[in-house]
Structure 1
């Protein structure tokens, strides 16, 4: 009987040590620069190309996130966009981000899975012939 009490206590201890509930984690201060969900006055420096981001589903631990990405002008013929999220403290990212191009300047990026609380970095890159020509990043704390 004593053995069962020890196993039960270990089980309870294990459950209690799993961390904070994802339901209690919300977007941190780093997204406070947004106004109505749109990040304003952002620009790729090398390409001199402005853009805006509108979060359709904001970053959260309990749901997949998505955002609309609008360029001020189309990319050059041999250029493409690449988006990924990275957790520098843990040294890993998350599942691949899905991209849907709506027209020459508008994109929807979805399936962003912020899988644990902490600092994440959203990376948006302009690729030319699969080489990074310019990049922009934004820290997000969940």
Structure 2
């Protein structure tokens, strides 16, 4: 098996991972950045949290109760595992988080893979899209 295929086949699993923010969790010793997900940033030092940051983090905590698995898509510039994840709560954590409206698709990397879930959140006026729906959209 070529090295690229072996890396793509890498899967990690854990129970009740630690959640740092709305798009990053720790599964054992591995820090996992959710592929294609851009959640608002939580407070860092003197920099205040962005709107919906803690709601996104809480939603990721809810989605990762029980068993969690993540398949490696890439490694980011910080060496973090970038993955597509699933859990006892949902077959696609990444899509569920975007569908909640508490995170958006990071199209720079995902190239539209999660356009459908983001459109659903926008149409339903969920999370970050609540005010846009009342104002007639973007």
Q: Which is greater in Rg?
A: 1
Give the TM-score of the pair, scaled to structure 2.
0.31
Give the TM-score of the pair, scaled to structure 1.
0.30
Q: Which has the higher strand share?
A: 1
Q: Which has the higher helix share?
A: 2
